[in-house]
Structure 1
Amino acid sequence: MSEWQRTYGFIGVAAACVLIAYGANLASTPAPPPEYDKVGEAYYPDFTDPFDAKTLRVVTYDDETTVIKTFLVEYEDGLYRIAPYGYPADAEDRLSKVATSVIGIERGSLVSRRDSDHEKYGVIDPDSRDDTKLKGRGQRLTLEDESGEVLADFIVGNAAEGENVFYVRRADEKETFLTKVNVELSTKFEDWVNSDVLDMQTNDVREVVIKDYSVNEDEGRIERREEFDLTRDDSSSDWKLEGLDESEEIQTSELNSLLGKLNNLKIVGLRPRPEGLLPNLEIDPEVVRNQLQLDSIVIDLQRKGFMFAKDKDGNLQLLGKEGQLSLALSDGIAYDVYFGNLFTGTEFDVAFGLEETEEGGEGEQGLEPTRLKEDEEVSLSEQKSRYLFVAARLEPKFLGEEPQPPVKPEESASESSEEQPVEGNDGEEGEAAEKEAPPEESPEEKYEREFKDYQELKKTYDEKLQEAKDNVAALNERFGEWYYVISADDFEEINIAREDLVKKKEKDEDAPETPGENPTGGPSFTPPAPEKPAEREADSSTEDETPDTPVEAPKE
């Protein structure tokens, strides 16, 4: 064997050894876990249409108070409704935005494959009732379609480095990934509804009636303080107050401030009204058929700070424990607002008050907040709120006067077939003047013209009236089933007295001083009165005298 042959042999053996070693290394290296294959993939690739989402459930957890809260919006009977009472939500756009921001969310880097790391990254299920795991809980977001199938179900944990980057895991997986999440999400009730109590513009207000009273429930009497009525003809007119003294004037700035606060009055919670109470605050005889049912309604009203009382004509009227306020608008709509009891509660108590619901058997169980661990040193945040009762009614007088038809002229006696001669100049000049004179409008022609104008005005008025009726019906459909809750601070802002809106007129400094007054405060000088001229003897024919009786014309 030659030297070259031996060399090539050694090279071949060495190459074989390298290949054997490489193969052995590959065989001994574990395959990458399948979780790494998920990096860069969408969490829910089949969820592509945001309008498929019909249910949104958000579960949150507070580390300090150990309270679990659930917020639920569901599509039912053609409307999105907020649990537990099914209040209609203005939620279609908001829900679709949430769904759109969830679609296509991709897994970033794999951070952990172990359950034991969930607390570290804050991705423990917040809905867990395990009271041994009170730290490291995230926020859970679940979307479902109309059939209840899950479209997306995430647990979003702690924030990581980078803008909108969080530790995230699917609720049915244990792996945690870094994920870019940009979801616009609110679990506050007022963010999902039309939170304005009154649908109005301040320039449209034509009347404000404030009835300031309180009800003494212990003695069963009404403690009236004052009542006043402010009106104006249009948005540019001055306000008028019934009973305003000449020495007083309305503080327009304060009144405008009041209207602005009423326009911004917000709903922060609600409760269902008792069945059998109509939107116009009357009892529905089709529902309430016995005294027991009526008593149940009365008790429910009293718990919220409202009651029925008879007016001077013997008719039942609703009263609020802390008075009422009415607004009438230029479109013929009037609002009656009644102020009820003050109460204190947590954010959830204010919004839904499920402790009352459970006693009455209403609401959806499992949505009330759950506190995993009682701690006397950690108190729950509470806020003062007040119950509110609202109703709409038609007030057509503010639409303007209803057009009235013109008076039809009486049928005149038959006119002579011959035209009466027209007095004037003779000849061609008289004929020209006669031709130039416009024909005089007959009573019948005038009536027809005015009747056409009346028809147009009446049509416009009737359309405005019907629109007002439709709007009142729509508002009462919205108000009819609910007590509302407002902030106690908002109530204090609008709970004003007459003295807040009226002040004494300021003295005009440029007005002339009263005769005999010395502005310096010293003795005043009064000039002597001029001497009267000698009186003449009375003369009945004096030119300056005005006779008590008419003077007869001289006879010819």
Structure 2
Amino acid sequence: MSVNDTTKTGIFLAAGLLMATASFLIVRPSTTDVEQDGLEALRNQPLFKDFTDPLAATELKIVSFDADTGKPVTFEVRKNPSSKVWTIPSRADYPADAVNQMKTAANGLIDLTVLDIPTDNAGDHKEMGVIDPTEDSVKTADSSVGKLVTFKDEKRDTIASLIIGKPVKDQPGQLYVRKPGQSPVYVVALDEATITSNFQAWIEADLLQLSSIDVQQIRSDNYSFSVTVNGNRYAKNQTAVLEKDGADWKLLSLKRYDPANPNQPPTQPKFDPEKVNATTITELVDALDDLKFVDVKRKPEGLSADLKADSDLANNKEAQASLFTRGFFPTKNADGEFKIVSANGELSASTVDGVKYTLYFGNISGLTTQPEEGDEAAASEAAQEGVNRYLMVTTSVDDSFFPAPALQPIPQTLEEWEKAQAAAAAAAAGPSLPPGMIIESQEAEGTEVPATEKPATEKPATEKPAEENTSESKPQPPAADDKDKPADPKVDADQPAAEGEAPATESAEETAADADNKSDAAAVETSGSGQETVVGQAFQEDEAPVELTDEEKAEKLAVIQEQIQKANARLLEERKDRMATAQLKSQQLNQRFADWYYEIPESTYSKLRLTRDNLFEGANAVQPPLGPVRPGFQPPGGFGPLPGLGN
């Protein structure tokens, strides 16, 4: 072999070795940080040493693998950098209640300590369940596929990322984990439940945000509505209105319909209010109080917060399909407006503050075939399977909670006002006492005693002559036991009166008459503090009432009119303020409800339905079957055929 051949062979060998080395570096997983620091150096050290502030995390992404779809499933929570509002991008940006939950999740990775490093061999990943769910090679979900968790900051830079695998055998609370793109597997103590993709953990799950004690009135419209290729099918069952009466509920009205002839007038069966099923009503109100939803879908454009559709929605086939498949149908009423009718009726509940919630019950989610109305077996089976039902919610102001106040009429003359005052005083005083009835008072105790009857013709006691006394006669104070006895009616006229006493020159009859006149002279009202205030002055029979001049009458009338006008204005303003408060609350609630279909558990829906079977105690008539299919059928109330369906 020549020198040139030897040289060439050496060059080829060197090149091959170089290529092999490069290939090894490319194929082998990146472990630069591990090689630099050494695996043993990471033991008992934080896995994410630069992640120290949970508030720095403004985005969380959790990816797991769904065996049913054969695809990875992503759950995201993100804080909008401009509005600072948390939303869930994986749920069409539904608002998230994420402040505390995000802090809890981030704290799960902060100071996460490496307890052990069992391997740095990629071949062990499957056994330890740390396969990346986003890898293209993953086709099915099994215990070898882990859960990928990634935290990002407001610049959307990754600050921590981890694949969570299987639990460590015989080591409670410890899990196998690894960083994406790296081979080493670590053992850490991590509560996986703190980093959850459970939708309900990230939202305000109390949908209506009302209290059961505030619900004052319920209206249940039990009907069904569906659309087929042959026409619309509408079957109305019953309408019941209940009102809270103290701690109990009473049935105000009940209308029942013939399902086969829903356009016929309803019957109003007689019912015993005492037989209303208290358990059913209590469960219904409690279900409203604790109404939870398990998922959401965004509604199409063109549907207002009060669920009225515009003309664009009526002509939008895609939007209609979104509504129809979930059991909600825009129908045209007599005024030409489009309003929603739901597949399984409505329920409204008015609260003490005058806000009325209306719930529209749609189809079961995820099922192409819906249980027929009245098919209790199918409905029960659906509930047991854990299915959900679509729901739409809207609110409004219930005007019946704001009746016009009773305003006091404005008198045009002083005489008119005086008559009104006299009539009001007579009405407030109630029936007058029978003749001979008087009210006795016990001033010492400060209390009144019931009226006692005394003969109207009772005469004063016969006077007895005073006994002679040779000593100088002086008035003596009455004994303690005799303080309530009347004084001796006969007193020496020449005897001077004690300080503060009236001269004793009157007879007993005159003294009694004078006391009666004084009691009639003024009406005295005692305030809560015990002070007495004169609220009215009566004229004695021998005194003529003071006559007012025309100018004085006019001035007095003007003052009275102004006082009444101010009182009336206060009543009107109070009503206006209460209505404004209710309107504001309704608007705020509708901002939450307007864009969403909600999914509620079927078990909750069953508690919100008032039927012929559960409204009263004891056995009642079973639910009637649906009415026949009728092409172009028009529901009562002016609703016309659905647009775009060819009927």
TM-score, length of structure 2 as denominator length: 0.59
Moved more, 211-220 or 230-239: 230-239
Partner of 1:480: 594
Q: Please say if 1:176 is aligned against 2:176.
A: no
Matched residues in 2 for 1:341 and 1:504: separation? 29
Alignment of 1:469-548 (within 5 A): 469-503=583-617
Alignment of 1:11-410 (within 5 A): 34-61=38-65, 67-76=71-80, 77-84=83-90, 85-131=92-138, 136-160=144-168, 161-183=170-192, 184-218=194-228, 219-243=230-254, 245-247=270-272, 249-284=275-310, 288=312, 292-293=315-316, 295-311=317-333, 315-344=337-366, 384-398=387-401, 401-410=403-412
Q: CA 1:41/1:402 → structure 2, altered by over 3 Å: closer, same or farther?
A: farther
Instruction: Kindly indicate whether the alpha-carbon contact (under 8 Å) linking 1:43 and 1:170 is maintained by their aligned counterparts in 2.
Output: no
Q: CA 1:232/1:493 → structure 2, altered by over 3 Å: closer, same or farther?
A: closer
Tell me by how many angstroms 1:446 deviates: 6.4
Instruction: Kindly indicate whether the alpha-carbon contact (under 8 Å) linking 2:309 and 2:338 is maintained by their aligned counterparts in 1.
Output: no
Residue aligned with 1:178, SS: strand
Matched residues in 2 for 1:64 and 1:483: separation? 24
Residue aligned with 1:387, SS: strand
Matched residues in 2 for 1:224 and 1:200: separation? 31
Tell me by how many angstroms 1:111 deviates: 1.4
Instruction: Kindly indicate whether the alpha-carbon contact (under 8 Å) linking 2:71 and 2:139 is maintained by their aligned counterparts in 1.
Output: no
Alignment of 1:430-469 (within 5 A): 436-437=522-523, 438=534, 440=536, 457-469=571-583
Residue aligned with 1:242, SS: strand
Tell me by how many angstroms 1:246 deviates: 5.0
Tell me by how many angstroms 1:216 deviates: 4.0
Deviations 1:90-117 (A, max 9, x none): 1111111111222111112221122122
Tell me by how many angstroms 1:88 deviates: 0.6
Q: CA 1:291/1:149 → structure 2, altered by over 3 Å: closer, same or farther?
A: same
Q: CA 1:472/1:124 → structure 2, altered by over 3 Å: closer, same or farther?
A: same
Instruction: Kindly indicate whether the alpha-carbon contact (under 8 Å) linking 2:391 and 2:597 is maintained by their aligned counterparts in 1.
Output: yes
Code of the residue aligned with 2:585 in structure 1: it is: N
Instruction: Kindly indicate whether the alpha-carbon contact (under 8 Å) linking 1:344 and 1:382 is maintained by their aligned counterparts in 2.
Output: no
Tell me by how many angstroms 1:393 deviates: 1.0
Tell me by how many angstroms 1:140 deviates: 1.6
Code of the residue aligned with 1:333 in structure 2: it is: V
Tell me by how many angstroms 1:334 deviates: 1.0
Residue aligned with 1:60, SS: strand
Tell me by how many angstroms 1:55 deviates: 0.7
Residue aligned with 2:597, SS: strand
Q: CA 1:387/1:124 → structure 2, altered by over 3 Å: closer, same or farther?
A: same
Q: CA 1:173/1:402 → structure 2, altered by over 3 Å: closer, same or farther?
A: farther
Code of the residue aligned with 1:494 in structure 2: it is: L
Code of the residue aligned with 1:495 in structure 2: it is: R
Instruction: Kindly indicate whether the alpha-carbon contact (under 8 Å) linking 1:207 and 1:229 is maintained by their aligned counterparts in 2.
Output: no
Deviations 1:2-53 (A, max 9, x none): xxxxxxxxxxxxxxxxxxxxxxxxxxxxx99712111122122222211111
Q: CA 1:314/1:106 → structure 2, altered by over 3 Å: closer, same or farther?
A: same
Task: List gaps (5 residues or longer) in structure 2.
Answer: 1-34, 255-268, 369-383, 417-509, 524-533, 538-555, 621-647
Code of the residue aligned with 1:37 in structure 2: it is: A
Moved more, 264-273 or 454-463: 454-463
Q: CA 1:38/1:282 → structure 2, altered by over 3 Å: closer, same or farther?
A: same
Q: CA 1:460/1:291 → structure 2, altered by over 3 Å: closer, same or farther?
A: closer
Tell me by how many angstroms 1:57 deviates: 0.8
Residue aligned with 1:245, SS: coil
Q: CA 1:483/1:66 → structure 2, altered by over 3 Å: closer, same or farther?
A: closer
Please report the RMSD computed on the Cα atoms of aligned residues, expressed in angstroms: 3.6
Deviations 1:373-422 (A, max 9, x none): xxxxxxxx985332222111111323x544344222223389xxxxxxxx
Partner of 1:22: none
Residue aligned with 2:387, SS: strand
Q: CA 1:468/1:64 → structure 2, altered by over 3 Å: closer, same or farther?
A: closer
Tell me by how many angstroms 1:428 deviates: 8.0
Q: CA 1:240/1:193 → structure 2, altered by over 3 Å: closer, same or farther?
A: same
Partner of 2:372: none
Tell me by how many angstroms 1:454 deviates: 5.1
Moved more, 491-500 or 479-488: 491-500
Residue aligned with 2:309, SS: coil
Tell me by how many angstroms 1:196 deviates: 3.1
Question: Between Structure 1 and Structure 2, how many residues are aligned?
Answer: 427
Residue aligned with 1:199, SS: coil
Code of the residue aligned with 1:335 in structure 2: it is: Y
Instruction: Kindly indicate whether the alpha-carbon contact (under 8 Å) linking 1:320 and 1:340 is maintained by their aligned counterparts in 2.
Output: yes
Q: CA 1:298/1:33 → structure 2, altered by over 3 Å: closer, same or farther?
A: closer
Residue aligned with 2:182, SS: coil
Q: CA 1:45/1:461 → structure 2, altered by over 3 Å: closer, same or farther?
A: farther
Q: CA 1:434/1:383 → structure 2, altered by over 3 Å: closer, same or farther?
A: closer
TM-score, length of structure 1 as denominator length: 0.68
Tell me by how many angstroms 1:235 deviates: 4.4
Instruction: Kindly indicate whether the alpha-carbon contact (under 8 Å) linking 1:345 and 1:383 is maintained by their aligned counterparts in 2.
Output: no
Code of the residue aligned with 1:408 in structure 2: it is: I
Q: CA 1:110/1:291 → structure 2, altered by over 3 Å: closer, same or farther?
A: closer
Matched residues in 1 for 2:50 and 2:516: separation? 97
Matched residues in 2 for 1:251 and 1:187: separation? 40
Tell me by how many angstroms 1:458 deviates: 4.8
Residue aligned with 2:39, SS: helix
Code of the residue aligned with 2:290 in structure 1: it is: N
Tell me by how many angstroms 1:221 deviates: 3.5
Identity score, percent = 23
Deviations 1:507-548 (A, max 9, x none): xxxxxxxxxxxxxxxxxxxxxxxxxxxxxxxxxxxxxxxxxx
Deviations 1:217-241 (A, max 9, x none): 2243443332323232554254123
Instruction: Kindly indicate whether the alpha-carbon contact (under 8 Å) linking 1:203 and 1:235 is maintained by their aligned counterparts in 2.
Output: no
Partner of 2:437: none
Instruction: Kindly indicate whether the alpha-carbon contact (under 8 Å) linking 1:198 and 1:265 is maintained by their aligned counterparts in 2.
Output: yes
